[in-house]
Structure 1
Amino acid sequence: MALQLKTIDTYQQTADAFVAKFAIAVQRRQDERILLDIQQGKNEFLRAYHGRYNNLLLNIPMVDDKVAYMAFFKGLRYEKLKKALLVRTPLTKDELTAAVITHIELEELKVGSDQPVD
Structure 2
Amino acid sequence: MDTSTQHRPPRFAGTGTLQKNLPVARQRVLAWLQAQPGATWQERWTSTGAENLPKEGWLDLPRQWFTRAQGLVLRDSQLAPGLPMLICGNVIRPTSAWLLSRTSQHLGRAMAPARESES
Return the structure number with greater relative CO, CA threshold 8 A, min gap 6. Answer: 2
Report the TM-score when normalising by structure 2: 0.29
Report the TM-score when normalising by structure 1: 0.29
* Larger Rg, first or second structure (1 or 2): 1
More helix by share: 1
